[in-house]
Amino acid sequence: MDLTILGSSPATENAGGACSGYLVSTGHTRLLVDCGHGVVSVLREVTELKALSAILISHMHPDHFFDLVPLAYGFLFGKVPSIPLFLPPDGAQTLHDLAAAVRLPEGFFERLFQISTYDPTASLRCGEVTITFAHTRHAIPAYAMRFVHDGRALFYSSDTAPDHRVAALMQDADVALVEATAPLYSEDSDSATIHLDAPSAGRMAREAGVRALILTHTWYPVAAETLSLGGEAFGGPISLARERSVYRV
């Protein structure tokens, strides 16, 4: 299983980057996981749209789904056959409301994608990959995901503050892709109650027995500190997600 970073930025794009987006690939399956702003441009550098198998969205914050609009136009202009779009339980209404607010044609997304909502208490099979979920601690309902293929496990935190359900899903993952968004040096921010910082991400991954850690959703101006503090807390192989990087899981 391969993980390609399409977007590693937090709620605003770092220079030359994109917001949350990841490609999870096996021999016959290509899953687009999250589709924040800027993701489509990078996605099209690394794969043709018609090669995608399905799309999964972890939660309905703009930096995780706003590029569904240009992605849908890519499917329309490219005459790409419709693929499944799996949204969180509250996702269909949000997508419908967005389409209405910006006056997209009636049924715009429904014509281009096979839209459904996933059940976070069940497992989901997408091609060769099995996905399980955990509710995270965030400002809106959000779901961490664990991708398993051929005995290998990739964990993705989505957005979360420290949470035992997220930690349980991360247990013994071969590779964990974990957000480290919370400002490192700001004491007046609410973000620590809905996001992880690098030390807490590193600590969670160490306690979960993760073999390799990738920090993402990070703010480049504090990249060096993020990596160093995360590495200290994790004590194992660690890297910072960067657009276009590919990891073998």
Residues found near Zn ion in the complex (CB under 5 A): 61, 63, 159
Measured from the CB atom, the residue of 68 and 148 that comes closer to Zn ion is: 68
Instruction: Select 1 or 196, whichever has its Cβ closest to Zn ion.
Output: 196
Strand pairing category for 129-135 and 143-149: antiparallel
Closer by beta carbon to Zn ion, 25 or else 218: 218
Q: Closest approach of Cβ 27 to Zn ion, in Å? A: 30
User: How far separated are the first and last CA of the chain, in Å rounded?
Assistant: 5
Task: Give me the least distance between CB of 205 and Zn ion, in Å please.
Answer: 18
- Two tokens, residue 41: 């441009």
Residue 25 vs 216, nearer CB to Zn ion: 216
Decide whether 63 or 163 has the Cβ nearer to Zn ion: 63
- Signed CA dihedral, 12, 73, 83, 110: sign only: positive
Which one, 12 or 114, has the nearer CB to Zn ion?
12
Rounded distance between C-alpha atoms, residue 33 and residue 68, angstroms: 11
Output the smallest distance, CB 58 to Zn ion, in A: 8
Cβ 16 to Zn ion shortest distance, Å:
19
Q: What sign for the dihedral angle of Cα 180, 151, 118, 27? A: positive
Min separation Cβ 174 and Zn ion, Å: 24
Distance CA 156, CA 133 (A): 10
Q: How far is the CB of 33 from Zn ion (least distance, A)?
A: 13
| Shortest Å, Cβ 73 to Zn ion | 23
Query: With 0-12 CB in 10 A as exposed, 13-18 as middle and 19+ as buried, what is 27?
Result: exposed
Nearer to Zn ion, 159 or 243 (CB): 159
* Interatomic CA distance for residues 38 and 51, integer angstroms: 19
